[in-house]
Amino acid sequence: MKVTFPHMGYLWIPVSALLRKLGLDVVVPPPITRRTLSLGVQHAPEFACFPLKLNLGNFMEAYERGADTIIMAGGVGPCRFGYYAQVQQEILWDLGYKMKMVVLEPPKGHWWGLWKRIRWLIGERSVRDLWRALGFAWHKFVALDAIERAACWARPRAAAPRDVRRAVETAVRWVHEAETADQVREAREEGVSLVRSHAVRSLRDPLKVGIVGEIYTLLEPFANYRLEEKLGALGVEVDRSLYLSDWIRAHVVLDALRVSGEHEVKQAAQPYAPHFVGGHGQDTVGRTVLYARHGFDGVIQVMPFTCMPEIVAQSILPRVAHDYGIAVLTLIVDEHSADAGIQTRLEAFVDLLRRRRSKKKHDAVARAQAGK
Amino acid sequence: MRIGIPRGLLYYEYFPLWKCFFEELSAEVIVSGPTTKRILDRGVQTAVDEACLPVKVFYGHAAELGDCVDFLFVPRVVSVEPRAYTCPKFLGLPDMLRASMVLPRLLSPTVNMRRNRRQLLAAVRQVAAELGAGPVKTWRAWRRAVAAYRRFKEFLRQGYGFEDAVSLALGQNRHLARQAPPARDLTVAVLGHPYLVYDQLVGMNLIQRLRSEGVRVLTADSFTPAEIEAKVRNLPKALFWTYEKQVLGAALACLDRNVDGIIQYVSFGCGPDSMIGELIQRWVRRKRDIPFTLLTVDEHTGQAGILTRVEAFLDMVARKKARSA
Ligand code: SF4
Ligand code: SF4
């Protein structure tokens, strides 16, 4: 048995660490490229969401490298993600790809069934081994998030954006290669300082932009056309609202315990979106409110074309933007998006933010003078 | 008291229930007119571009009712059965509307039967309380409304058109003749959301057109809930969208009935349909060789183009049937 799983940002690092610790033979799908995308697009339904297509491409490329078993997360709706695995399975089946799909969700609501699937995967390993492996993977999640956060801070301050990208690659490789929890900690500390060391310019008050939206497009740089790097190169300090460990917390831990996400975010969304709408739609609204309250210059919502919860949020955001006077840009991505087009829109948005800043400063000066 | 009901989305699923209930509570029900180009344009202007066609149509109707009613009835229908949801857009519908236009007071109960069927009754009580009705009156109104809804579904099942089923269910028209038996021995299923296929403008009168060509037409409403359930019971994973389950189950049930062709009618960019459409096509192809066509519409779709495709499809179905006979 050779197991594989879909890509989502650096998810592959902790997940492959977890599976290897459990003694499984892992095939990490090759990094997402145009080829991955075109495989997915060719065989997935035309109007399926973007992540489904990229997942499918990952599976097909992993199959070429010998994978025969897919580990996939599931869901209970109302979002499409909960049915991804079943649709992908049908497609692979019809293509003659003999791959077994193991969906980590309680089948028909029975936890026992989920446990049986896990048991089947881990074979003779004990529950303690499983627990240890999970703990180890968790350290990697935390380390990767710290490195990505450092990168957001360093990019606008670097001499060349390329430097930060290279530093991140190195730091991430250290985390990947770490074999023990201590090594992971070390990799994190050294990685973060390596990334931060490229911040050579001091910025007193950089433009700040929060990024909200659908989780896959937030976390996977291929899917968001390297949004964070583009903004960093434009001198913007980015705050991303969701990291991998947040996803684990929300989808694995909290979902299992049946408690809903962060209270503060839900509270902030309350006047505009008082009810859960699937996916991260309500969070998108709540986090936009929070960014506005924390004095950010702008917010960018990223989402795949036809993403339902984010369309709900997108419909509501203009009202938030109006009430709080914050600039919001919605970036919709799919296989038809073009890098140059996104670059142009980001440049225009950053220009707008700069103008708004200087107007604010100007107004403040004028007010002070009038007061005298 | 005047309660406005936009003629869109779940109107096509529950209108007799709502109307009967509100009238029993002595409210006046005002429905926006059938969808026109103008209503659609209004919706297209107010909604975000990415919204699906039915949501845009709904916006148009809500705007249309705007200031001539005291309340606008836009329920938040989260779930109508255990362990299932509706579309995410129904979960956020009142919020989307409120953020996009100036509205009269919204009457917007939350219906969420995902964990508990009885939650529905709480929603009913909440609405009645907002309209100032007492418990006894409410209960009687609700019982009658449910009865009207059952009749409505039964008439649809028997093959009455949407408008006829509504007026029969509400007892407005006791003597409507049954549809004349079809002239040709040809059965075609038109599967899709009721708010698409029953809407006069965006549904392009497809059902009536086919009937006037002498074709027997089935819709997702032609099957009993038991038939649908039996078909979806063996899915690899239970489908968590109630209304899509209806469509998928109907498609599978078509394989058992004497159906000669299936037309799936979907909105461009519809999330749930992109998934079940794929499953339907694959399963239909695998199980039995029934001609199948997928018609995707949005606000730019020309009627002529769709009708030509339907004509061609019908020809193909008829030829295939003649050959196999
Ligand atoms: S959140 Fe959006 S992209 Fe993700 S599964 Fe749902 S609809 Fe698709
Ligand atoms: S089910 Fe499809 S057509 Fe209906 S509201 Fe949702 S996305 Fe739109």
Mean pLDDT throughout A103-127?
86
Looking at beta carbons, which residues of chain B come within 8 Å of A85? 237
Looking at beta carbons, which residues of chain A come within 8 Å of B87? 78, 308
Taking only the tens place, the pLDDT of each residue in B45-90 is 999 999 999 999 999 999 999 878 999 999 999 999 998 999 999 9
pTM given for the model: 0.95
Taking only the tens place, the pLDDT of each residue in B137-178 is 999 999 999 999 999 999 999 999 999 999 999 988 776 766
Q: Where are the domains of chain B?
A: 2-169, 187-324
Looking at beta carbons, which residues of chain A come within 8 Å of B110? 275
The verdict on the CB of residue A79 being under 6 Å from ligand 1 is yes
The verdict on the CB of residue A81 being under 6 Å from ligand 1 is yes
Probe target for ligand 2 pocket from B48, B49, B50, B52, with the most ligand atoms within 8 Å of CB:
B52
The verdict on the CB of residue A309 being under 6 Å from ligand 1 is yes
Strand A298-304 relative to strand A207-213, pairing: parallel
Mean pLDDT of chain A: 93
Q: Dump strand ranges (E) for B26-74.
A: 28-31, 71-73
Contacts of B40 (CB under 8 A, 6+ apart): B56, B57, B60, B201, B202, B299
Percent of chain B with pLDDT over 90: 84
Q: Residue A278 C-alpha to ligand 1 middle, in angstroms? A: 9
Output the pLDDT for position A108: 73
CA B91 to chain centre: 16
The verdict on the CB of residue A313 being under 6 Å from ligand 1 is no
Measured CA to CA, the distance from residue B197 to residue B218 in angstroms comes to 12
- Judged against a pLDDT cut of 80, whether residue A260 lies above it is answered with no
Looking at beta carbons, which residues of chain A come within 8 Å of B114? none
Measured CA to CA, the distance from residue A244 to residue A14 in angstroms comes to 10
- Judged against a pLDDT cut of 90, whether residue A251 lies above it is answered with no
- Judged against a pLDDT cut of 80, whether residue A249 lies above it is answered with no
Residue B87 has its nearest CB partner, among A78, A275, A317, at A78
- Judged against a pLDDT cut of 60, whether residue A191 lies above it is answered with yes
Least reliable range by pLDDT among A55-64, A187-196, B276-285: B276-285
**Closest among A156, A204, A147 to A174, alpha carbons compared:** A147
Residues flanking ligand 2, CB < 6 Å: A 308; B 52, 54-55, 87, 89, 193, 267, 270-273
The verdict on the CB of residue A40 being under 6 Å from ligand 1 is no
Measured CA to CA, the distance from residue A248 to residue A254 in angstroms comes to 8
Output the pLDDT for position A254: 52
**Closest among B290, B242, B279 to B14, alpha carbons compared:** B242
Residue closest by Cα to atom 3 of ligand 2: B270
Looking at beta carbons, which residues of chain B come within 8 Å of A332? 50
Measured CA to CA, the distance from residue B256 to residue B224 in angstroms comes to 14
Least reliable range by pLDDT among A189-203, A206-220, A356-370, B2-16: A356-370
Mean pLDDT throughout A71-83?
89
Taking only the tens place, the pLDDT of each residue in B285-318 is 888 789 999 999 999 999 999 999 999 999 999 9
Measured CA to CA, the distance from residue B269 to residue A16 in angstroms comes to 35
Look up the CATH architecture of domain B187-324: 3-Layer(aba) Sandwich (3.40)
**Closest among A259, A260, A289 to A272, alpha carbons compared:** A289
Among B278, B287, B295, the residue to mutate for chain A (most A Cβ within 10 A): B278
Output the pLDDT for position A372: 62
In the three-class reduction of DSSP (H, G, I as helix; E, B as strand; rest coil), residue B325 is classed as: coil
Answer whether A114's CB lies under 8 Å from A74's CB: no
Mean pLDDT of chain B: 93
pLDDT band, very low/low/confident/very high, at B179 (cuts 50, 70, 90): low
Residue B271 has its nearest CB partner, among A276, A306, A313, at A306
Among B89, B106, B232, the residue to mutate for chain A (most A Cβ within 10 A): B89
| Nearest C-alpha in A relative to B53 | A306
Output the pLDDT for position A219: 95
